[in-house]
A and B are shown apart, each in its own frame.
Chain A
Amino acid sequence: ETGVTQSPTHLIKTRGQQVTLRCSSQSGHNTVSWYQQALGQGPQFIFQYYREEENGRGNFPPRFSGLQFPNYSSELNVNALELDDSALYLCASTGGASSYNEQFFGPGTRLTVL
């Protein structure tokens, strides 16, 4: 069984640019959630996708957007990057035979905005 994978591992962008982060969910999982973890803080919920539809959103501006594909992999897009967007972005998947409450996290993508 393949776990949750994320790419890239690290990314450096400049302010104003756009970025796309990718996540492959664990086999059998149909729900993907994205979290932002600033340095020294707990993860903050960005949004969740269930069967290709957004299923809840946290307190993040519209320049944070996402997609989920038919194979349940997902993308997080951030437009007009700001310095405060520098963080570890975590993807988590759940669903299928797993308890819906039990989320499995990927290793994260470290985004640095200069």
Chain B
Amino acid sequence: GNSVTQMEGPVTLSEEAFLTINCTYTATGYPSLFWYVQYPGEGLQLLLKATKADDKGSNKGFEATYRKETTSFHLEKGSVQVSDSAVYFCALSGNAGGTSYGKLTFGQGTILTVHP
């Protein structure tokens, strides 16, 4: 079945530091890949997505590139802010036509804390 593995956290950084959160996946075919963010006390918000190999998703300074050869979708940001403190989830959805299309499989989440 599908699975997503995120780097074990939590991650603590100083403001303006570089962020990388690793994500690897197992799935058949060509899944779509996502990063969701969950701020304290809130639901999930889609941060970025990529639907095919070599696509780069980007939003709010965050980027992630769909690497089929390494089955990875690592999240990066060049300069984090205190307001980026949240829990980040990597997720996948199976390819169109498959039974897992439109159903998300999530990683365990990575807690990011950014200090001033």
Chain A positions within 8 Å of B, measured between CB atoms, are 4, 31, 33, 35, 40-45, 48, 56, 58, 90, 92, 94, 100-108
CB of B43 within 8 A of CB of A56, answer no
Q: Report chain A residues within 8 Å CB of B101.
A: 100-101
Q: Report chain A residues within 8 Å CB of B4.
A: 42
Known: A101-B49, A103-B104. 14 other contacts (CB 8 A): A33-B104, A40-B109, A42-B106, A43-B44, A43-B89, A45-B104, A56-B99, A56-B100, A92-B104, A100-B96, A101-B51, A101-B93, A102-B49, A106-B43
> Contacts A90-B43, A90-B44, A101-B32 hold; do A45 and B105 have CB atoms under 8 A apart?
yes
Encode B32-65 as 1/0 by CB contact (under 8 A) with A: 1000100000111110010100000000000000
Q: Report chain B residues within 8 Å CB of A58.
A: 103
> Contacts A48-B103, A100-B102, A106-B43 hold; do A42 and B108 have CB atoms under 8 A apart?
yes
Taken together as a complex, chains A and B put the C-alpha atoms of A90 and B89 apart, in Å, by 14
Interface residues in B60-116 by Cβ distance below 8 A to A read: 89, 91, 93, 96, 99-109
Task: For residue A89, give the distance in angstroms from its CB to the closest CB of chain B.
Answer: 11
27 A-B residue pairs with Cβ-Cβ distance under 8 Å, sorted by A, are: A31-B102, A33-B102, A33-B103, A33-B104, A35-B104, A35-B106, A40-B108, A40-B109, A41-B108, A41-B109, A42-B91, A42-B106, A42-B107, A43-B44, A43-B104, A43-B106, A48-B103, A56-B103, A90-B43, A90-B44, A92-B44, A94-B102, A101-B51, A101-B101, A102-B49, A105-B36, A108-B43
